[in-house]
Structure 1
Amino acid sequence: MWREIQGCNNWKGLLDPMDSHLRKEIIRYGEFAQSCYDSFDYDPHSKYCGTCKYQPSHFFDKINMLKKGYEMKRYLYATSNINLPNFFQKSKMSNVWSQHANWMGYVAVATDPEEIKRLGRRDIVVAWRGTVTYLEWIHDLQDILHPAHFRDDPNIKIETGFFDMYTKKENNCHYASFSAREQILAEINRLIEKYQGEELSITITGHSLGAALALLSAYDIAGKSITKIIPISVFSFAGPRVGNLKFKERCEELGIKVLRVINVHDKVPTVPGISYAHVGAELALDHHRSPFLKPNSDLGCAHNLEAHLHLVDGYHGKVRAFRSATGRDVALVNKDSSFLKEEYGVPPFWWQDENKGMVRTSDGQWVLPERPVIEAHPPDTAHHFQQVLKLARARLNLP
């Protein structure tokens, strides 16, 4: 029933009561999004601030996700965005890995035979990074709609900050020489060519601002003839609105399936303003239903991704009691929050690098070790992006 789980029927009959298979898949894709937080270097005192802490080949091992059965294919970067300045993290040091770029997420693909058999297809997953400091970036959102120039209809519009983050590039920066858009389209094209003839799915996930990028990239990918009959699904967590009604209608025409997981006490899904429309089905959760969580915690807790996954784990239906279905560890809620009730004895904000990444050298000095240089972009990125444009022009009968 993988197509139903991916939303071919818009999850009709699977949300209330909650289908057990769907619950596990929502949590699984939420963990892909959470991995972007767990691996991102937020420390402004590190010259690597704004990048991923781990090499791509070691990524899933470092965050204990090897059993997921996926292989990392490429990292995604975006350049500093003037319309969302508080979202980007920058080092206070002068000698840094990049003056312009931030690591934004990754593309991975199912390669383990047992996982492919379980899924019923080879799954391509795209995970976008959000931000835990949402109260800062959310105020930067402008109620200004920008035409999506990569579509032929000028009436299809999206929030200007999201558009800029997705399309901007910086030729003087190694990591931002291709826009996030160019990177994602090129990689999807490369993987579709590589696994031609196999049954594929494309699943895109993200939390917070990452949820907006997930929907935007799904819309862009679906609009290209490269995907044809490949199903595209978005598992969105605590995401804001992205575009206008025309954008919503076009997403539906393209067959994009979107499941939006929200906490009814979170403010982010209510912005930007009334000129915007949400896309897809909604799974509305209420943290007051969980006996583990503080009922009147701050707004940041209500927005927290691990809290959302905890609520999915305990949700069985709108009128059914909260009860853990998968045994998900409740301590995970406090990884980067103070949301758990104190009686459970879990310290707040406990997820951190040992010694903040500092290591002791043979002469007794404590230093932040150098990291291996990560390849900015695969050498065939430009080729695959041009292939995407060529196919799109052919579909529209353009020269």
Structure 2
Amino acid sequence: MGKSCWLMLAIFTYLLSFSSGRELNVKVKGDHSSIYNHTLAAVLVEYASAVYMSDLTELFTWTCPRCDGLTKGFEIIELVVDVQHCLQGFVGVAKDLNAIVIAFRGTQEHSIMNWIEDLYWKQLDLKYPGMDNAMVHHGFYYAYHNTTIRPAVLNAVKRAKKLYGDIPIMVTGHSMGGAMAAFCGLDLKVNHEAQNIQVMTFGQPRIGNAAFASCYSKLVPNAIRVINDHDIVPHLPPYYHYFPQKTYHHFPREVWLYNIELESLIYKTEKVCDGTGEDPSCSRSVTATSISDHLVYYGIELMSNAPGTCRFWMDPQVALYSRMDLSGNLVLSRVPATPVIRLNTESDVGGKLS
């Protein structure tokens, strides 16, 4: 992480000061199987990890090192790379889940553009029907609504539904990708009347005020935000309890992953928090300053596999599946349930996302 990123971390830590051995098996506190499913979380976090891949050939053909395990057999329908804003996402069909899966990449740890966008904390009026007084984070809202990401995702969902019917939609992402996933789930519900939508994010920052959080919980009730121990990002932008209507406020429901230490033993614990979105007994009960807790969830790395800025590369044969706009943004599309080339070699067709 560069000097500028460490400086931003120091600023984050300052702002947060004004707001709130041996491992054993995971334990979930209480019976919340209807709210939170650990097995599903373990699957979706792998999708949230895979979307970070810079090798578009391996990602598009689902042959990347992160495209195995619990996500084996996934079929990508559309892969979108917004070069202008260093954003990436994909839509595909997971036959094991019998669902459409949408995943958004989080903040690239070396991308100054993304860090600046994350720091843009100005609130924007959300002019969605039935969401009076709802205000949202300008930067995160823009990343989903005003880039090439949204039209590509909506087009892919439409194509998938024509082929597979009205199957469930699962939306996921990590960090800023979690914020985009949350907006995507709401967009599909409110503006496109999609049913059976599940949103599960990892290390997601706050994205709106209390009015937004209240409306969100009613419109997208099947939403989970997973927070890992002392992860710093979910505490941003800061929550100020003495400005309950104006401050940023998480929507419910949080699942907090944390450790309980008993002498030399460490118990991994998962707590399903209350329905307020800001349960003081969950992640808000600790001082969150950890970057390392932000980058690993359920033992899965959630970060870019390429050093430096937001770079990508792909084989020339995969480039045949792509279309590029005048700004250099890429969308790779394929018809699901049809053969796709399988290549594992890097090519001389590449670029930078920022």
Q: Which residue of 1 aligns with 2:15?
A: none
Pairing 1:158–2:136 present: yes
Q: Which residue of 1 aligns with 2:68?
A: 65
Question: Could you tell me whether the CA contact under 8 Å between 1:257 and 1:280 is conserved in 2?
Answer: no
Q: Distance in 2 between matches of 1:80 and 1:135?
A: 12
> Which has the bigger relative contact order, CA under 8 A and spacing at least 6?
2
- Residues 71-114 of structure 1: CA deviation (Å, up to 9, x unaligned): 11101233534xxxxxx3xxxxxxxxxxxxx4x12111124xxx
Three-state SS of the structure 1 residue aligned to 2:80 is strand
Q: Distance in 2 between matches of 1:221 and 1:352?
A: 32
Q: Which residue of 2 aligns with 1:141?
A: 119
Q: Which residue of 2 aligns with 1:217?
A: 184
Question: Could you tell me whether the CA contact under 8 Å between 1:156 and 1:246 is conserved in 2?
Answer: yes
Q: Which residue of 2 aligns with 1:77?
A: 81
> 2:160 aligned to 171, 188, 191, which one?
191
- Mapping of residues 1-399 of structure 1, within 5 Å: 15-17=28-30, 22-37=37-52, 39-40=53-54, 52-54=56-58, 56=60, 58-60=61-63, 63-65=66-68, 68-78=72-82, 80-81=84-85, 88=86, 102=87, 104-111=88-95, 115=96, 119=97, 122-131=98-107, 133=109, 137=114, 140-149=118-127, 153=131, 155-169=133-147, 179-196=148-165, 200-227=167-194, 230-274=195-239, 275-286=247-258, 289=261, 299-304=290-295, 306=296, 308-310=297-299, 371-372=316-317, 373=319, 374-376=321-323, 377=331
Identify if the C-alpha distance between structure 1 residues 262 and 135 changes in structure 2 by more than 3 Å, giving closer, same or farther: farther
Q: Distance in 2 between matches of 1:280 and 1:218?
A: 14
Which protein has the larger Cα radius of gyration, Structure 1 or Structure 2?
Answer: 1
* One-letter code aligned to 2:222: K
Question: Could you tell me whether the CA contact under 8 Å between 2:232 and 2:289 is conserved in 1?
Answer: no
* One-letter code aligned to 1:182: P
Report percent identity of matched pairs. 23
Q: Which residue of 1 aligns with 2:342?
A: none
* One-letter code aligned to 1:76: V
Q: Distance in 1 between matches of 2:31 and 2:208?
A: 29
Q: Distance in 2 between matches of 1:74 and 1:19?
A: 34
* One-letter code aligned to 2:228: N
Question: Could you tell me whether the CA contact under 8 Å between 1:222 and 1:256 is conserved in 2?
Answer: no
* One-letter code aligned to 2:68: M
User: How much does 1:158 deviate?
Assistant: 1.3
- Residues 328-382 of structure 1: CA deviation (Å, up to 9, x unaligned): xxxx66x97xxxxxxxxxxxx9x779xxx9xxxxxxxxxx9964414134799xx
User: How much does 1:231 deviate?
Assistant: 1.3
- Residues 172-192 of structure 1: CA deviation (Å, up to 9, x unaligned): xxxxxxx31222222222222
Question: Could you tell me whether the CA contact under 8 Å between 2:230 and 2:289 is conserved in 1?
Answer: no
Runs of 5+ in structure 2 lacking a partner? 1-26, 240-246, 269-287, 324-330, 335-354
Question: Could you tell me whether the CA contact under 8 Å between 2:185 and 2:220 is conserved in 1?
Answer: no
* One-letter code aligned to 2:250: H
Q: Distance in 1 between matches of 2:159 and 2:142?
A: 24
* One-letter code aligned to 2:62: F
- Higher relative strand content: 2
Runs of 5+ in structure 1 lacking a partner? 1-13, 42-51, 82-87, 89-101, 170-178, 311-331, 337-348, 358-367, 381-399
Q: Distance in 2 between matches of 1:369 and 1:106?
A: 16
Three-state SS of the structure 1 residue aligned to 2:51 is helix
User: Normalising by the residue count of structure 2, what TM-score does the alignment of the two structures yield?
Assistant: 0.62
Question: Could you tell me whether the CA contact under 8 Å between 2:176 and 2:204 is conserved in 1?
Answer: yes
Three-state SS of the structure 1 residue aligned to 2:107 is coil
Identify if the C-alpha distance between structure 1 residues 264 and 62 changes in structure 2 by more than 3 Å, giving closer, same or farther: closer
Three-state SS of the structure 2 residue aligned to 1:299 is coil
Q: Distance in 2 between matches of 1:298 and 1:242?
A: 19
Identify if the C-alpha distance between structure 1 residues 292 and 257 changes in structure 2 by more than 3 Å, giving closer, same or farther: closer
Q: Which residue of 1 aligns with 2:283?
A: none
Q: Distance in 2 between matches of 1:271 and 1:190?
A: 36
User: How much does 1:256 deviate?
Assistant: 3.6
- Higher relative helix content: 1
Identify if the C-alpha distance between structure 1 residues 15 and 76 changes in structure 2 by more than 3 Å, giving closer, same or farther: farther
- Residues 240-266 of structure 1: CA deviation (Å, up to 9, x unaligned): 001122221221221342111112311
* One-letter code aligned to 1:280: P
User: How much does 1:157 deviate?
Assistant: 2.1
Please tell me the root mean square deviation across aligned C-alpha atoms, in Å: 3.8
